[in-house]
Structure 1
């Protein structure tokens, strides 16, 4: 038996059967393609993340800093307004994510079926995604005015008294969430449409031959085979809901009071007030919240897919 020297082991040169005696060498060259991406990831993600965690442990300004340990985090969770922002963030993300899944699936089933003007309706469903979020917020701020808004005036015509959407503390956060769903459901619809159209037509034909109606075809064919699209919609909408700021700030600025404040708006307000260390701690809490909620969910869905 031939001995393999360390030099041969390092070079990884081997003879391939049928190659005419030619030798192939595994070159490390392709790994160099990872270096630019790794540097960009380190410079723009890893380094700022580490610095943000450090500055969350300090009381800092642009000119000096003082290490205070976890005092910022203690103060963060002791402040009722700050702690309520954490709860509002979870509620907002849950409501928007759930509605986008349900409405996105319903619209996708409708827009992949044999309906008149299907191409035009698909464009209409996706159009709100293309509109500026700030523009959407300012527009619906006018439309949802308690007395002069078009929405409440339309409800009055059918004998329904509309709520004070953005003024009533019990409605403010939900009102912004509904506008968020209106703007973002188009993206969920496109993802679901891609998932449904990728299902082979033989499955639907076989279900029809077996006598399955529209509901049974949806339940036993469309719903399970479009599961990858459902996972994508849940993860993307949940991350977007947890990080939402621009729409909430444009419509309510966290008001009335603190009833529609979420983590991002709380962090912004603390930064405006000059509490830089406290706002940095809030950013770290938001970052950890996204990881704690999204990563286990992503792992759970992928594990279920692998066990099938």
Structure 2
């Protein structure tokens, strides 16, 4: 008995975390899958099979929502990778103010997403916003950033990049600082310059950091809701609707079973897109 206890002793320390994980994630996930097949309220439910899923795919704005979600995820992910890498290189250099700049770049990550959305909605106002006012000082007539269907979704995406690039930068800083100095010394002996240092050492050897940024940013883009809702609530029309905002509107309308089915579909979409991407990036990392 004592031998069995000694063998399992370390696993007992995992029990609190396992209970929290089960209660906060596994149980709600299982309940969501169950209630997606029902028509339910806070006090009652009725099993209706696949009707919720059929109705969800018949949603008029769903095609636009899928399209916007993919565009949003790809754009925000791409910009965070590129800008994060550039800032990571800059903030691991010998700049005297690099520690201060690291704090400045990471600071937007700490701000509430809703607060950021409201603030930028004011700044992007077509006639009274500070952005168009600044453009007017140099003779440029700024557009209606959130009211013009051509700019609305990309405007929100750029705000998302501004807020989230700090995390990407921190990941890149850690990845770049982990590169052994022997590579830089060998490059210097061979007469390589700053471009060779960046392209032949930093870019390939920071591949693990790049993979992490891509996965986190892409999943975050697919699941994005709060910034979109705070800035446009899916408007004008359905121009900036993403899957999550469509689901929220269904909750608002009292279609709880339909909205739950939408959440299940979103979960499946994120899994289907993110898991193969994760496997592909890890395979390339191993091959490298």
Of 230, 236, 255, which residue of structure 2 is paired with 1:250?
Answer: 230
1:26 Cα offset (Å): 7.0
Deviating more after overlay: 111-120 vs 171-180:
111-120
**SS at 1:291's partner residue?**
helix
The answer as to 2:213 corresponding to 1:233 is: yes
RMSD: 1.7
Of 188, 193, 200, which residue of structure 2 is paired with 1:220?
Answer: 200
Comparing both chains, which one has the higher relative contact order based on Cα–Cα distances under 8 Å and sequence gaps of 6 or more? Answer: 2
1:151 Cα offset (Å): 0.8
Indicate the residue corresponding to 2:129 in structure 1: 149
Aligned equivalents of 1:139 and 1:173: distance in 2? 17
Q: Which runs of 4+ in 1 moved over 6 A?
A: none
Of 258, 275, 278, which residue of structure 2 is paired with 1:298?
Answer: 278
Indicate the residue corresponding to 1:42 in structure 2: 22
The answer as to 2:51 corresponding to 1:71 is: yes
The answer as to 2:90 corresponding to 1:90 is: no
The answer as to 2:184 corresponding to 1:204 is: yes
Of 58, 74, 91, which residue of structure 1 is paired with 2:38?
Answer: 58
Indicate the residue corresponding to 1:7 in structure 2: none
1:97 Cα offset (Å): 0.8
Indicate the residue corresponding to 1:128 in structure 2: 108
Q: Given that residues 38 and 47 in structure 2 are in contact (C-alpha distance below 8 angstroms), is that contact kept between their aligned partners in structure 1?
A: yes
Aligned equivalents of 2:105 and 2:58: distance in 1? 43
The answer as to 2:82 corresponding to 1:102 is: yes
| Cα deviations by residue, 1:101-139 (Å, 9 ceiling, x for unpaired) | 000001111111122422222221111112221111111
Any unmatched runs of 5+ in structure 2? none
Of 153, 164, 167, which residue of structure 2 is paired with 1:173?
Answer: 153
1:190 Cα offset (Å): 0.9
TM-score (norm 2): 0.94
| Cα deviations by residue, 1:2-41 (Å, 9 ceiling, x for unpaired) | xxxxxxxxx79xxxxxxxxxxxx97232233333333322
**SS at 1:96's partner residue?**
helix
Any unmatched runs of 5+ in structure 1? 1-10, 13-24
1:189 Cα offset (Å): 0.7
Q: Given that residues 76 and 83 in structure 1 are in contact (C-alpha distance below 8 angstroms), is that contact kept between their aligned partners in structure 2?
A: no
**SS at 1:74's partner residue?**
helix
Deviating more after overlay: 190-199 vs 126-135:
126-135
Indicate the residue corresponding to 1:19 in structure 2: none
TM-score (norm 1): 0.88
| Cα deviations by residue, 1:158-177 (Å, 9 ceiling, x for unpaired) | 23222210001121111110
Higher helix share: 2
The answer as to 2:255 corresponding to 1:272 is: no
Q: Given that residues 135 and 141 in structure 2 are in contact (C-alpha distance below 8 angstroms), is that contact kept between their aligned partners in structure 1?
A: yes
Aligned equivalents of 1:52 and 1:45: distance in 2? 11
1:74 Cα offset (Å): 1.2
